[in-house]
Amino acid sequence: MDNLVEIKKLSKAYRYRKLFTDISTVISDRSVFVVLGHNGSGKTTLLRIACGLISATSGRIDIIMGGKPLSPGERRAQIGLVSPDLELYGELTALENLEFFSGVRGLPYSREKARELLEYVGLKGRGIDYVGTYSSGMKQRMKFAYALLHDPHILVLDEPTSNLDEEGIAMVDNVIRRQRERGIVIMATNEPREVSYADQTLNLG
């Protein structure tokens, strides 16, 4: 059965300012879809609509799993998000953050799995450190741990390599490669390296 994302005649405007108009495309399973455009063109807005965080002015984005459109609640369970707007809790350790977000999502919490996830994103041995003491690059890695916590079928990435060093960028390479093998990546970026991941692009101008 088909798993895909359908963008249907999507438009978004804020009062008298149009961001984008009448976008339609299909994002296939096991692919990377990259949204391009200058600052203010609506890249992040489109990703937020896909995640169900804000509404479109007209049109819609449907997520199809097993040939059936997902409800809003089902959609949230299938999406993992890495975004500059994502706030972590600096007064909690990395493990405590993952335990908290597991509870929010209604997931059983496994400290062993959380440690494995932190190791995967390059934070091995830092699970008991307060996130507030992390560097900007470490916080970006932590956002990936959060996004992957529930093994999402769709991974939504807004400027994913922001603040990362070469090792961090290699981690993102690995995450995207593995996600493409099992689901969908939707990414907003203007970085040439990140654009090179794309199987399909959308340029918002």
At 16 the pLDDT is 83
26: pLDDT confidence band, cut at 50, 70 and 90? very high
Domain range for 153 is 4-203
Count the domains in the chain: 1
The size of the chain, in residues, is 205
What CATH number did the domain enclosing 52 receive?
3.40.50.300
pLDDT digits (tens, 9 = 90+) for 73-114: 899 899 999 999 899 999 999 999 999 999 998 889 999 999
At 90 the pLDDT is 97
Residue with structure tokens 């494995």?
116
The percent of residues above 90 in pLDDT, for the chain, comes to 89
At 205 the pLDDT is 86
Dihedral sign, CA of 150, 156, 158, 162? Answer: positive
DSSP-assigned letter for residue 189: -
1: pLDDT confidence band, cut at 50, 70 and 90? low
Structure-token pair, residue 7: 């963008």
pLDDT digits (tens, 9 = 90+) for 153-175: 999 999 999 999 999 999 999 99
pLDDT digits (tens, 9 = 90+) for 101-154: 999 988 899 999 999 999 999 999 999 999 999 999 999 999 999 999 999 999
